[in-house]
Structure 1
Amino acid sequence: MAEEKFGVAVDVEIVRGVDEWVAECDNLGASRSEIVETILTAFVQSEANHVERVRELIIRKQKSSFAVNSHTY
């Protein structure tokens, strides 16, 4: 399988959650990258249509970010 690397910026809470999974998979020697790739694989290959949920989360995040960034001081 060909691989492509890309970087992402994620919320600190997401990092903490992934780090917990890394710790729980310590006996497997799984890295953050492996955990995230496995999550994405399961997500993309599942039978469910996740598009609406992804769109909803993006809209919420954008609205939240807009509200924070548009605050006048």
Structure 2
Amino acid sequence: MQEETMTRPKFGISPSPQIAHHLDDLVEDCVDLGASRSEIVEAILTAYFDTDEDRSTTTRELIVRLRQARQN
């Protein structure tokens, strides 16, 4: 993946407290790297987009599961 030479777009998310806690755990686990939440989220997204899976189908399934979990 080639680094963008233009200004990187920024956008915010509001994760659930549980997701924020998991991210904080990962920040602590990566303290030797000095990784931030944003860098960890970017690494996770990079890994997701680097797969050969049908991302549209997978994403749709994940959204349905997330919404179902929120209703319970």
**TM-score higher than 0.5:** yes
Q: Which has the higher helix share?
A: 1
Counting only pairs closer than 5 Å after superposition, residues 54-65 of structure 1 correspond to structure 2 as 54-63=59-68
Could you state the TM-score of these two structures normalised by the residue count of structure 2? 0.75
Unpaired segments of 5 or more residues in structure 2?
A: none
Q: Quote the sequence identity (%).
A: 39
Q: State the shift of 1:43 in Å.
A: 0.4
The number of residue pairs the alignment matches comes to: 67
Unpaired segments of 5 or more residues in structure 1?
A: 69-73
Partner of 1:51: 56
Larger Rg: 1
Q: State the shift of 1:64 in Å.
A: 5.6
Q: CA RMSD in A?
A: 1.9
